[in-house]
Amino acid sequence: MGSLVDKVAIVTGSGRGIGRSIAEALLNEGAQVVISDINEELITQTTAELTSKGGKVLGVACNVTVSESIDKMVETVISTWGRVDILVNNAGITRDALFMRMSEEQWQAVIDTNLTSAFKVTKPVVKVMSKQRSGRIINIASTTGVHGNFGQVNYAAAKAGLIGLTKTVALEYASRGITCNAVAPGFIDTAMTQALGEEIISKVTEKIPMGRMGTPDDIAQAVVFFAGPGAYVTGQVLEVNGGLYT
């Protein structure tokens, strides 16, 4: 039996990539998982695939930048499964450009989707968790939020902000049995990084001490740790990066 039997988990942006792997890993531990994404086609496909593997899965469309959409998702989860034990704020985008060339639109889109979203989604969920007097919140940050990165001033600022949010929510809710931690992935093989092209991918990979890009499952395993029954770790940021600390 897995460590998360009967736990209800919401994973935002879980139609594909890291979010999908997180959903799968939580299901393998016995959790019931909400597949939530802005892309309804991805939800239908992922929900069907994970259900066919025997998982208890609920697909709910949700745009994490829109409060009404978030409230509707949380209401659907509560009316279906009655509780929320685990929230993974995973949905995210990139709009890369060097500082001087970055437009206000690029800046704002990334701040809205990668940072403000966590504020908006965590609010209704932490209310439910407070009543339960237990919960696990895991935010998917990035090594870029810790160290910075060329061409990603918007993304670095959003992910650094997400780390600040993580540490503060951890303090404010510790007494209610709710932990809040962040996983900061390094260079992980998903559609987001494939978009960078072969040349950049091989240049970055050369610098990784472990000699390979991370897999979505490498990140999912760290999330499973924070989602688990151990309750004395909170406000932590775990870099999962194959040893590449830049």
Residues that bind ligand NAD (CB under 6 A): 12-13, 15-19, 37-39, 42, 62-65, 90-93, 113, 140, 142, 185, 187-188, 190-193
- Give the dihedral sign, CA 219/224/74/41: positive
Q: Which C-beta is closer to ligand NAD: that of 32 or that of 94?
A: 94
> Which secondary-structure segment (H or E) carries 65?
none
- Is 245 designated active site? no
Please report how close the Cβ of residue 155 comes to ligand NAD at its closest, in angstroms.
Answer: 7
Query: Exposed (0-12), middle (13-18) or buried (19+): which is 51, by Cβ within 10 Å?
Result: middle
By CB atoms closer than 10 A (0-12, 13-18, 19+), residue 118 is: buried
Please say which residue, 39 or 236, places its beta carbon nearer to ligand NAD.
Answer: 39
Query: What's the token pair of residue 213?
Result: 């890009």
Question: For residue 177, with 0-12 CB atoms within 10 Å meaning exposed, 13-18 middle and 19 or more buried, which class applies?
Answer: middle
Give the span between the Cα atoms of 176 and 195, in whole angstroms: 41
Minimum gap (Å) between residue 231 Cβ and ligand NAD: 25
Residue with tokens 């039996």: 1
CB nearer to ligand NAD: pick between 95 and 167: 95
The CB-of-195 to ligand NAD minimum distance in angstroms stands at 8
The sign one gets for the Cα dihedral 26, 95, 155, 98 is: positive
The nearest distance, CB 17 to ligand NAD, in angstroms, is 2
Nearer to ligand NAD, 131 or 223 (CB): 223
Which residues carry out catalysis?
Answer: 155
